[in-house]
Amino acid sequence: MTKTNQMWGGRFDKAPTELMLEINSSLSVDKRLYRQDITGSIAHAKMLAKQGILSIDESQKIIDGLKIVLNEIEGNNFEFKQELEDIHMAIESRLKELIGDVGGKLHTARSRNDQVATDFKIFVREECQKDILLLKELRKQLKTKAKEHIKTIMPGFTHLQVAQPVSFGFYLHAYYEMFGRDIKRFENAFDVMDECPLGSAALAGTTFDADRFFTAKELGFKQPTKNAMDSVSDRDFVLEYLSIASICSMHISRLAEELVIFSSQPFSFVKIPQEYTSGSSIMPQKCNPDACELLRAKSGRVFGGLISFLTTMKGLPLAYSKDMQEDKECLFNVCDTLSLSLKVLSEIISGIEACPQNMLNALEKGFPTATDLADWLVKKANIPFRDAHHITGKIVKFAEQHNMRLMDVPLKEMQSVCPKITQDVYNVLNVEASMNARNSYGGTAPEQVKARLNED
């Protein structure tokens, strides 16, 4: 190859090798940003005309040409040439083919450095909005299912051991709250990203009389970024998205893990929609929770994107370095993974079936009302909680040794441990009474769960 790159080849006598093209080109990845790039370029062309840097006719010719390029790409009639490195140069090259030398004027008062930062920030902001909508749909399904099961009793676990009676609705509401925080994180990230880098040029701004407030407004940003060097060096918005996506994926994975456990035969608390399970090639009876297992696994892919790009950015000096080109592939992968995961989880929650009797049966073991006994001793017998805890522990030990439920321990055996215990203690040892008694704000009592679900 003897031909240098037409966009910046004036400095060079030799063309890049095939290997250099392979490692340097990002076009196969960042062509996904074609729409954002064209949108940004149209805004830039309008600004150049507004400021008299280009004539109105030149600006309009550029805008019309960019719209032709957009139609070509969306109609699959666009040739992506690897030697043009990235989507920005590919579009500009085609623009010049369409409208001649005036196409080369589009790049006045900007650099690829601020151009790519702008395109990518627009993309990430759009992804935040998409994920917010997907999370809202997931929460809608969780709320609907939770309202159906406000009084469906199940074990609440700590250390995966039976702890206290709760409702299945209360359990689902816990995840409803988790995903609500994810929405707030994406909303906050969107606001933090509300500054436009376009016009920062290579790193120091431009000598042209550019109106960066105009382009920021055209592109839906609140204002332009305040420091050109920071503008082209910044990929915090990518890292923030990856961070939030990682937290959200962790929440998805936790719920998926519990659905795998709760749908297994030892538990049989829920039935996962058959459409999201699969069979075995050798065992005819199997109905495996494959979708949930994949949701659990895909969190690793998302976490990997965050760690990968944090590692890329950690040692970069200001301003732009080509290392930053590695931001797109990992982020695109994370965006696609998170979007798919949220869609699948919403469908699973929508179709999941609870098995109330199995949930209730699981409360026969584990002494789930032990805390209620300790609380009764505090309230009715005026015993300090630490002493009540000790007394309850002895009664639990007796029940365990005699293979009986706490509510089946004879009164005389309880009184042998604590004479202050009376017959009405049995009123608090019923699992339904235990659940209903937890009527503090945020508790599992049905009226509390109902009230919290109705707040949003």
In degrees and rounded to multiples of 5, residue 225 shows phi and psi of -65, 155
| Catalytic annotation present for 280 | yes
Token pair for 272: 């996962």
Letter for the amino acid at 47? M
Pairing of strands 153-158, 161-167: antiparallel
In degrees and rounded to multiples of 5, residue 163 shows phi and psi of -115, -70
Distance CA 23, CA 46 (A): 35
49: preceding bond cis by omega (within 30 degrees)? no
Cβ atoms of 396 and 365 within 8 Å: the answer is no
DSSP-assigned letter for residue 196: E
Place of tokens 């992506």: 80
In degrees and rounded to multiples of 5, residue 252 shows phi and psi of -60, -45
Distance CA 41, CA 297 (A): 39
Cβ atoms of 230 and 236 within 8 Å: the answer is no
Distance CA 326, CA 242 (A): 14
Distance CA 390, CA 234 (A): 57
DSSP-assigned letter for residue 361: H
Letter for the amino acid at 40? G
Among candidate residues 351, 334, 305, the one with its CA nearest the CA of residue 144:
351
Token pair for 376: 């009764």
Check 280, 321, 402, 416 and give the catalytic one. Answer: 280
Contacts of residue 407, defined as CB under 8 A and 6 or more positions apart, other chains included, come to 369, 426, 429, 430
| Catalytic annotation present for 402 | no
In degrees and rounded to multiples of 5, residue 25 shows phi and psi of -75, 135
Residues designated catalytic: 159, 280
